[in-house]
A and B are shown apart, each in its own frame.
Chain A
Amino acid sequence: MNEIKLIHLGDQDYPQALLDLKDPPKQLYVKGNLDLLKRPLVSIVGTRDCTRYGLTVAKDLAASCAEAGFAVVSGLAEGIDTAAHQGAKENTIAVLGNGIDVYYPVMNHDLQEFIGTHGLLISEYPPDFRGGKTTFPQRNRIVAALGQAVIAVEADLHSGTLITIRKAQELNRDVYAVPGNINCYASQGTNDLIANHGAQMITSTDDLVKSLTGRGKKSKKIVPAKQITLEQQNILNILKTDEMHFDDIVLESGLAVPQLSTLLTNMEMIGLIEKLPGNYFVAK
Chain B
Amino acid sequence: MITVKSFGITGVNGYIVDVEVDIAKGLPGYTLVGLPDNAVKEGKERVKSAIINLDYKFPVGNVVINLAPASAKKEGANYDLPIAIGILANTQIINKPMTDWAFMGELSLNGELRRVNGVLPALLTAVEHGIKNVIIPADNYREAAFVSGINVYTARSLGDVVSYFTGDMLEPGPLVQVQKANFDTLLADAVYPCDMKYVRGQFVAKRALEIAAAGGHNIILIGPPGSGKTMLAKCFQTILPPMTFTESMETTKIHSCAGLLDAEHGIVLTRPFRCPHHTASSASLAGGGKYARPGEISLAHNGVLFLDEMPEYNRSCLELLRQPLENHNIMISRAAATVEYPASFVLVASMNPCPCGYYGSRIQRCKCTQSKIQHYLGKISGPLLDRIDLHIEVDQVTYDDLTNDKLAEDSATIRKRVTAARAIQNQRFNGTEIHCNATMDAAMVKKYCMLDGESEKILKAAFENLNLSARAYTRILKVARTIADLAGSEKILPEHISEAISYRSLDRYNRGANE
Contact A107 B461 (CB under 8 A): no
- Cross-interface CB contact of A280 among B360, B498, B508, cutoff 8 Å: B360
The answer to whether the Cβ of A259 comes within 8 Å of any Cβ in the partner chain is yes
Given contacts A110-B514, A258-B495, contact A278 B202 (CB under 8 A): no
The answer to whether the Cβ of B505 comes within 8 Å of any Cβ in the partner chain is yes
Contact A258 B207 (CB under 8 A): yes
Find chain B residues with CB under 8 A from A107 CB. Answer: 370-371, 374, 513-514
**How near does chain B come to A111, taking the closest CB pair, in angstroms?**
7
Near A by CB (< 8 A), chain B positions 446-494 give 458, 461-462, 465-466, 483, 487
User: Considering the chains assembled together, what is the distance between the CA atoms of A245 and B499 in angstroms?
Assistant: 17
Q: Mark A74-87, 1 if CB is under 8 A from B, else 0.
A: 00001100000010
Q: Mark A271-283, 1 if CB is under 8 A from B, else 0.
A: 1000111111000
Residue of B501, B508, B513 contacting most chain A CB atoms (<10 Å): B501
Given contacts A107-B371, A185-B365, contact A269 B458 (CB under 8 A): yes
The answer to whether the Cβ of A223 comes within 8 Å of any Cβ in the partner chain is no
- Cross-interface CB contact of B498 among A86, A105, A265, cutoff 8 Å: A265
Q: Mark B174-203, 1 if CB is under 8 A from A, else 0.
A: 000000000000000000000000000111
The answer to whether the Cβ of A2 comes within 8 Å of any Cβ in the partner chain is no
The answer to whether the Cβ of B101 comes within 8 Å of any Cβ in the partner chain is no
Residue of A111, A250, A279 contacting most chain B CB atoms (<10 Å): A279
User: Considering the chains assembled together, what is the distance between the CA atoms of A185 and B508 in angstroms?
Assistant: 27
User: Considering the chains assembled together, what is the distance between the CA atoms of A271 and B461 in angstroms?
Assistant: 11
The answer to whether the Cβ of A174 comes within 8 Å of any Cβ in the partner chain is no
The answer to whether the Cβ of A211 comes within 8 Å of any Cβ in the partner chain is no
Number of residue pairs A-B, CB distance < 8 angstroms: 98
Given contacts A106-B371, A257-B207, contact A247 B495 (CB under 8 A): no
Q: Mark B378-398, 1 if CB is under 8 A from A, else 0.
A: 000000000000001111011
Contact B361 A278 (CB under 8 A): yes
Contact B207 A78 (CB under 8 A): no
Near B by CB (< 8 A), chain A positions 72-119 give 78-79, 86, 105-108, 110-111
The answer to whether the Cβ of A204 comes within 8 Å of any Cβ in the partner chain is no
User: Considering the chains assembled together, what is the distance between the CA atoms of A280 and B363 in angstroms?
Assistant: 13
Given contacts A105-B371, A280-B360, contact A269 B207 (CB under 8 A): no
Residue in chain A with minimal CB distance to B359: A277
Given contacts A268-B466, A271-B465, contact A278 B360 (CB under 8 A): yes
Contact A277 B393 (CB under 8 A): yes
User: Considering the chains assembled together, what is the distance between the CA atoms of A261 and B494 in angstroms?
Assistant: 12
The answer to whether the Cβ of A128 comes within 8 Å of any Cβ in the partner chain is no
- Cross-interface CB contact of A262 among B393, B461, B465, B498, cutoff 8 Å: B498
User: Considering the chains assembled together, what is the distance between the CA atoms of A263 and B458 in angstroms?
Assistant: 12
User: Considering the chains assembled together, what is the distance between the CA atoms of A47 and B465 in angstroms?
Assistant: 28
Find chain B residues with CB under 8 A from A245 CB. Answer: 362, 395
- Cross-interface CB contact of B465 among A111, A269, A278, cutoff 8 Å: A269
The answer to whether the Cβ of A48 comes within 8 Å of any Cβ in the partner chain is yes
**How near does chain B come to A87, taking the closest CB pair, in angstroms?**
12
User: Considering the chains assembled together, what is the distance between the CA atoms of A262 and B462 in angstroms?
Assistant: 12
The answer to whether the Cβ of A238 comes within 8 Å of any Cβ in the partner chain is no
The answer to whether the Cβ of B223 comes within 8 Å of any Cβ in the partner chain is yes
The answer to whether the Cβ of A266 comes within 8 Å of any Cβ in the partner chain is yes
Given contacts A78-B369, A266-B498, A269-B466, contact A279 B207 (CB under 8 A): no
Q: Mark A226-247, 1 if CB is under 8 A from B, else 0.
A: 0000000000000000000111
Contact A279 B371 (CB under 8 A): no
**How near does chain B come to A248, taking the closest CB pair, in angstroms?**
7
Contact A248 B398 (CB under 8 A): yes
User: Considering the chains assembled together, what is the distance between the CA atoms of A279 and B365 in angstroms?
Assistant: 16
User: Considering the chains assembled together, what is the distance between the CA atoms of A40 and B486 in angstroms?
Assistant: 60
The answer to whether the Cβ of B30 comes within 8 Å of any Cβ in the partner chain is no
Contact A264 B207 (CB under 8 A): no
Contact A257 B204 (CB under 8 A): yes
User: Considering the chains assembled together, what is the distance between the CA atoms of A279 and B227 in angstroms?
Assistant: 13
Given contacts A111-B514, A247-B401, A264-B502, contact A78 B371 (CB under 8 A): yes
Near A by CB (< 8 A), chain B positions 209-230 give 223-224
The answer to whether the Cβ of B509 comes within 8 Å of any Cβ in the partner chain is yes
Contact A279 B395 (CB under 8 A): yes
The answer to whether the Cβ of B111 comes within 8 Å of any Cβ in the partner chain is no
Residue in chain B with minimal CB distance to A271: B465
Find chain B residues with CB under 8 A from A280 CB. Answer: 360, 362, 395
Residue in chain B with minimal CB distance to A109: B514
CB-CB nearest 8 A-B residue pairs? A277-B360, A278-B360, A279-B393, A262-B498, A257-B207, A262-B495, A261-B499, A265-B498
Q: Kindly list 14 other residue pairs between chains A and B, CB separation below 8 angstroms, not including A261-B502, A265-B501, A275-B508.
A: A79-B370, A108-B514, A245-B395, A247-B201, A247-B397, A257-B203, A257-B207, A265-B462, A271-B465, A277-B359, A279-B395, A279-B505, A280-B360, A280-B362
- Jot down 5 A-B pairs with beta carbons below 8 A, ordered by A: A48-B369, A106-B371, A258-B207, A262-B496, A278-B223
